[in-house]
Structure 1
């Protein structure tokens, strides 16, 4: 007797309702911890990072801010914060933050989730990485390349040296 369970995707991504905002706030601590490898940020005397600036706007400005939670087998595994750009001359959407917990990296969740985001919010995208975060740069070049068949443009910010990829989603 054959079952159809092998076809069930263990990955999920969905907009986070305000009543679940704390999940993103908690995951943000791990994200900021990971960033200590690339940026000079410290915890407070209480041992936690400062709240992410403007995080509440993702639940107040729902027409221009999109907080997504990634799950793996129903458990929180990461998040994405997407902004609709105020000035649309550069792009329609900006991927402000993107985080996958280390446990769930290299299983395809990040690529799958980013492709889901690009499909759900069709338009012109800008994705930026910190200049010192070489693993993120490699991930986004590969992921956006696969999504666009390598039809994207990369520009480097002359002041900070941060690379950004520009492309149009389907």
Structure 2
């Protein structure tokens, strides 16, 4: 996509029929993260997918699918949907759709569907995430956001995650 205008984008809750598409996007997501986490797929060539399962089965989670010009462009999982603080648990944009504004537009639409307090985690080793998430926080909350390091639960060998927090009003 080299057009100068932004591509068409639809952000919608994923339905059960979308699950195979989201599962394939999940593999791409984890492949990208493996560069920073040093993770290898399992013997069957897949990565752990408990979050996909949770996103499609737990009532306090919601999966979103991003569709650009009729093709899957990414996904997001929101958890703690009914808690005081929602968590953008996973967020992914396909490489071919990056740097077109799709990620910013998608996260903006997802969080605005669920006004309130938000938290998003990412790894300092991921330079694209280090640039992207503070940009998103500033766009959505101005200067009213925080950045904190937190240990990864049950993984003391890993560097801490970076967590940003902000609020979005309806």
TM superposition score normalised by structure 2 = 0.85
Q: Secondary structure at the match of 1:58?
A: helix
In structure 2, how many angstroms separate the alpha carbons of the residues matched to 1:31 and 1:38?
A: 12
2 CA distance for matches of 1:60 and 1:45?
25
1:4 corresponding residue in structure 2 = none
1:5-154 paired onto structure 2 within 5 Å = 10-46=8-44, 48-62=45-59, 64-84=60-80, 88=83, 91-154=84-147
Q: Is the contact made by 2:30 and 2:47 (CA closer than 8 Å) also made in structure 1?
A: no
In 1, the alpha carbon distance for the partners of 2:124 and 2:52 equals 23
Q: Distance in 1 between matches of 2:29 and 2:39?
A: 12
Listed as ranges, the gaps of 5+ residues in structure 2 are 153-158
What displacement does 1:15 show?
0.4
C-alpha distance in structure 1 between counterparts of 2:143 and 2:107, whole Å? 15
Are residues 1:165 and 2:158 paired?
no
Q: What SS does the aligned partner of 1:107 have?
A: coil
Shift of 1:40: 1.6
Q: Any idea what SS the aligned residue of 1:36 has?
A: helix
Q: Write the distance in 2 (CA, Å) between the matches of 1:79 and 1:36.
A: 18
Tell whether the 8 Å contact from 2:6 to 2:100 is kept in structure 1 after alignment. no
Runs of 4+ in 1 over 3 A off after TM superposition: none
Distance 2:132 2:94 in 1: 14
- Counterpart Cα distance in 2 of 1:74 and 1:154: 35
Query: Deviation string for 1:105-145 (max 9, x for gaps)?
Result: 00000000010011101110001102311220210001111
- Paired residues in the alignment total 159
2:105 and 2:33 map into 1 onto residues whose CA distance is 22
